[in-house]
Amino acid sequence: MTPSRVCSRASRAGRFAGTCAALLLTLTLTIMSQDAQAACAPLLNHTFSKLQDKSPQPLCQYQGKVVLVVNTASYCGFTRQYDGLEKLYAQLAPKGLVVVGFPSNNFGQQEPGTEKEIADFCRLTYGVQFPMMGKTEVVGAGTHPFFQELAKATGERPQWNFHKYLIDRSGRKVTSFSSRVEPNSPELVGAINKLLAEQP
């Protein structure tokens, strides 16, 4: 066999091996993605855009954590709760808590700004580091399905800005707290610590 034929066969074999490796990697990633979706609690199986850059943020990434969901607003009497929420997040994130903010203009038109304006306000005024999603409808005809499910699970819809839903590590049990429950209240902190102590 001539050297040129040997080289030609080796080249074809190399391309075949490369193609097989690529197909195997694609199949593996697909199976892993399907497994991750299967493991995700239905309640968390929603994707939002990130407030700061609109990148997709699947809530399934928080599976196994205790999740505190808060509908927020920049011009509300409860806006100062951002400070307490950030402190709560900084203190308990290492133990498995994630606070997720959902700016909403549903109550009193108190979140009228653009998403960039909201992101700048949260960062510059309160130093918010916890995840913030894009503007979201939390009540009314346009209620996002995630908030519909939260309301159904607890029997309570948000009545104003800074309503809080606490989701356990399994993503199945949800507790509701009114806007008047401060982030550092014994009621809320006690409930969070109890869920953090549980294993998913």
State pLDDT tens for residues 33-74. 444 445 899 999 999 999 999 999 999 999 999 999 999 999
Instruction: Name the H helices within the chain.
Output: 3-39, 81-92, 115-126, 145-154, 186-196
Are residues 75 and 33 both part of a single domain?
Answer: no
CATH number at residue 64: 3.40.30.10
For the purposes of burial, counting CB atoms within 10 Å of the CB of 45, is it exposed (0-12), middle (13-18) or buried (19 or more)?
middle
Please state, rounded to an integer, the average pLDDT across all residues of the chain. Answer: 88
Q: Tell me, what amino acid is at 13? A: A
Has residue 26 got a pLDDT over 60? no
Are residues 7 and 92 both part of a single domain?
Answer: no
What does residue 198 show for φ and ψ, rounded to 5 degrees?
A: -85, 150
Task: Please give the positions annotated as active site.
Answer: 76
d(CA 80, CA 87): 12
- Domain count of the fold of the chain: 2
Q: Which domain holds residue 84?
A: 42-196
Are residues 34 and 102 both part of a single domain?
Answer: no
> pTM here?
0.81
pLDDT tens-digit readout, 94-120: 999 999 999 999 999 999 999 999 999
